[in-house]
Amino acid sequence: MTLNWDFPYPSRRMPVFARNAVATSQPLASQAGLQMLVRGGNAVDAALAAAITLTVVEPTSNGVGSDAFAMVWDGKELHGLNGSGRSPRAWSPERFTGRSRMPRLGWDTVTVPGAVDMWSTLSRRFGKLPFPDLFDPAIRYASQGFVVAPVTAAKWSETPDLYRDLPDFAAAFLPGGRAPLPGEPFRPPGQAETLKSIAETQGESFYRGELASRIVSCSRNAGGCLTEEDLASHRTEWVKPLSMTWNGVTLHELPPNGQGMAVLIALGILKHLPIDLYPVDSPESLHLQIEAMKWAFDAAQRHIADPAWMTVEPSSLLDETLLKGIAKAIRMDRVSLPTAAIPHDGGTVYLTAADEQGGMVSYIQSNYKGFGSGIVIPGAGISLQNRGAGFTLEAGHPNRVAGGKRPYHTIIPGFVMKEGAPLMSFGVMGAHMQAQGHLQMMVRIFGGHQNPQTAADAPRWYLDEDSRLSLEPGFGPEIREGLKKRGHLLTGGAPNSVYGGAQLIYRLSDGYCAASDPRKDGQAVGY
């Protein structure tokens, strides 16, 4: 496929062409990954060093207490990993009686964090460098401090009101009672020692050692349910990615409990719609994408859960006859009926790395909603995710809260192949924007032949609750009017942050093209 190397949208960045590449949402993390490649490491080493560094330099979206998912091309095969944790075994629907929805903050949102085990699992299976070496950049920034980047600072500034009454959080992340400003130094108290402990023990201290004891003690003292057994029993799960072929390429997404299924469903619907007849920046193309995404979200919210609790086989949601039938219900002249119950904001980091031996990694980790649960282990710099907020309290729903269960997850890495060979690793961070972002990247790159940086620069649409639609500045008035005429409920706009942040690496005949979203602090680097 021939890409168009024009750059028609306003952008602060150009793509990076190199035989080794890393793209993340934070320059210090990208450079941490690059350091591992220069040392002789591979794409997995680079991705892990970047991910570990991000827990320090972008704490607004992830931390040591995050969950994670990944896909790895090892030169022969595509591997999928589910690094999400299960709920405490003591959780039950009755624990949440009297609530209309799952809480957002506190111990009743904390499931077992999976990122640390993901790091050690990936390193053991695929890494070249010693595990402790991957922590060098992160430990340096945690020990000496780092300068806070502008986009991270802006997101940090939105948090104090939500977390101010949590003394351990304030002590860790609100120095002097406020969020750091752009260009100010920040040193996370205690995180350097925590990272050293994880590095030295291959993650054992976090699940079965001293750090685990500190986490459980905090939980117990605050009335939480997380136990030693909950932590000790956690394992990263190897999973087989699901796929959908469209326009000659095959998109791979991880199976539930993540929302990657929604992207595959939407793409499968588009296979049976005339989207290739229209330019990517046209009301017709956007209308078809949005309609397909609405139907996909509707299916995802009804059915996706921990696979052990799902009432349908995930593969059945990709049935060709089903998707073709949905496509027939979509009209060019008006909107369709589904209204997806879409979750709100989130906090996530996505990164990707590739090496000259052909290895590629698509990796994502997240605390979920900003800083997550607001729970910080005193003196350890461990902020815990609030993935339990992804459960529902609806009786009979496959995603209803229960003990020892993985919740519905929004974070999804993406991977594209062509004729059995790797072509692109990518992701678009940002809660439910992720599925929408994956779809928009696929349409722009493999439908409109835009290069990865142009696709990242391009304006995006954002489907919210009750099918309300926001359009990013950059779409012309003819787009807005064309969508309004079809019955789309356009809002007055949305904050820039809701449109997500993409990172992409595209395989060329000799090396890679790496792109990083201008909406983030990030950077694509290579050599």
Per-residue pLDDT of 259-293, as tens digits, reads 999 999 999 999 999 999 999 999 999 999 999 99
Span 482-492, mean pLDDT? 93
Mean pLDDT of 166-193: 95
CA pair distance 368, 484, nearest whole angstrom:
32
Q: Mean pLDDT throughout 213-218?
A: 98
Per-residue pLDDT tens digits for 16-37 = 999 999 999 999 999 999 999 9
- Which two tokens mark 303? 């059915």
Distance CA 508, CA 512 (A): 5
The DSSP annotation for 462-475 comes to EE-GGGEEEE-BTB
Percent of the chain scoring above 90 in pLDDT? 91
SS3 assignment, position 382: strand
pLDDT given at position 341: 47
Active site residue 236: no
Q: Which pLDDT belongs to residue 258? A: 94
DSSP string, 398-453: TTB--TT-PPPB----EEEEETTEEEEEEEEESTTHHHHHHHHHHHHHHTS-B-HH
* Residue of 60, 348, 352, 410 marked catalytic: 348
Distance CA 249, CA 254 (A): 17
Considering only residues 450 and 497, tell me which one the structure prediction assigns the higher pLDDT: 450
CA distances from 62 to 79, 214, 257, 387, 420 (A): 23, 20, 19, 12, 33
pLDDT greater than 60 at residue 340: no
List, for residues 112-157, the tens digit of each pLDDT value: 999 999 999 999 999 999 999 999 999 999 999 999 999 999 999 9
Please tell me the predicted confidence (pLDDT) of residue 444: 98
What does pLDDT average to over the chain? 95
Domains with residue ranges and CATH for the chain: 21-236+349-390 (no CATH), 239-345+424-526 (1.10.246.130)
Q: What percent of the chain has pLDDT over 70?
A: 98
Q: Provide the pLDDT for residue 163.
A: 84
DSSP structural state of residue 395: T
In angstroms, the CA 435 to CA 254 distance is 12
pTM passes above 0.85: yes
CA-to-CA distance for 135 and 120, rounded, in angstroms?
12
522, 23 contact by CB (below 8 A): yes
Question: Averaged over 386-392, what is the pLDDT?
Answer: 96
Phi-psi region of 421 (alpha: psi -120 to 50; beta: other; left: phi over 0): beta
**Bigger pLDDT: 158 or 136?**
136
